[in-house]
Amino acid sequence: MEITCNRCHQAVLAENSYCPACGLPQLMYGADAPLGQAQPVRWDEPVRDAGSVDWKPALRAALLLAIPAGVLSFGLSAVGLLGFVWMAVAGAWAVAIYLRSQRPAWITIGAGARIGLVTGLLGAWAAAATMSVSLFAMRFFFHQGKVFDDFWQIQVSEKASQQWAAAGIDAQTILAAKTLLNSPEGRGGVTLSIMLFLVLALVVFATAGGALGARLMGRTRQPEV
């Protein structure tokens, strides 16, 4: 048998103590009470709205996982190719850690996504900072600037020129674009664009991981009578 939540009007199974959509506690009536005199059962512990987030423990959980996940996700590391996976796992894991201290011990998908979003923002910042420091150190401290210059010339500039030529762009336009691409401004702009794209992708994956974690936790840890 299903009932309707008083807050969001979504269907709630009779055996559920909380609305699966908004987390509102549902009043349960004793079956042995006389007709017309049934009293709602009162809970002995404080109840938290499952759609809200207590950000103090949530931030602790996010920081605990976002920084190492961000460091593992930056592009120059050997495991950087799995960066999106690290961030998705970090978002879901942050939700799991957060739930250990919460009552009820589950949250809505939206709340999980918000925790994942914060985890992704912190992790993406850590990834971008690690990548920037690494590039700076490799060029100016380890004197590997020629390696980057050769890579840029062969893998970026020449391949871009070939693709533009295949697209039918005239040689003069290609030469001007290639000159801009090889300038300090062009390199900086392309590098910044790539970093922004990676940061956005990391945030999206962490948010999805947080939402998925809340979804799975909601199924396995949803309170019952």
Of 20-24, 84-88, 221-225, which range is least confident?
221-225
Q: Indicate if 31 and 71 belong to the same structural domain.
A: no
Number of domains in the chain: 2
Are residue 58 and residue 38 in the same domain, yes or no?
no
Say if residue 90 is in the same domain as residue 193.
Answer: yes
Residue 64 and residue 145 in one domain: yes
Same domain, 32 and 106: no
Q: Provide the pLDDT for residue 194.
A: 81
Residues 9 and 43 occupy one common structural domain: yes
DSSP states along 167-199 = TT--HHHHHHHHHHHHSHHHHHHHHHHHHHHHH
Q: CA dist 12 to 2, 3, 34, 40, Å?
A: 5, 5, 24, 17
Whole-number Å distance between alpha carbons of 81 and 74? 8
**What are the backbone angles phi and psi of residue 42, rounded to the nearest 5°?**
-100, 140
Average pLDDT over every residue of 84-90: 90
Q: Does the pTM exceed 0.85?
A: no
Q: How high is the pLDDT of residue 44? A: 46
21 pLDDT above the threshold of 50: yes
pLDDT band at 134 (very low <50, low <70, confident <90, very high): confident
pLDDT of residue 10: 77
Percent of the chain with pLDDT over 90: 22
Domain that holds residue 17: 1-47
Position 104 confidence tier, pLDDT thresholds 50, 70, 90: low
For the segment 73-88, the average pLDDT, to the nearest whole number, is 71
Q: Is the dihedral of CA 162, 163, 168, 171 positive or negative?
A: negative
Q: What would the mean pLDDT of 20-45 be, rounded to a whole number?
A: 55
Lowest mean pLDDT among 56-70, 141-155, 205-219: 141-155
Tell me: pLDDT of 108 over 90.
Answer: no
Residues 178 and 161 in one domain: yes
Work out whether the CA dihedral 56, 58, 61, 65 comes out positive or negative: negative
The residue ranking higher by pLDDT, 4 or 61, is 61
pLDDT of residue 223: 46
Residues 113 and 211 in one domain: yes
Could you tell me the two tokens for 67? 């920084």
Rounded CA-CA distance 26/14 in Å is: 9
Asked if 107 and 188 sit in the same domain, the reply is yes
| Structure-token pair, residue 143 | 């004197």
Rg (CA), the chain: 26
Last residue of a domain, one of 16, 32, 47: 47
| 107 & 180 share domain | yes
pLDDT at 116: 96
The number of C-alpha atoms within 13 Å of 203 and in the hemisphere containing its C-beta is 14
**CA angle centred on 5, ends 4 and 8, rounded to 5°:** 120
* Same domain flag for 71 and 137: yes
Between 134 and 124, the higher pLDDT residue:
124
pLDDT bin (cut points 50, 70, 90) of residue 138 is confident
Residues 147 and 208 in one domain: yes
Residue 172 has pLDDT above 50, yes or no: yes
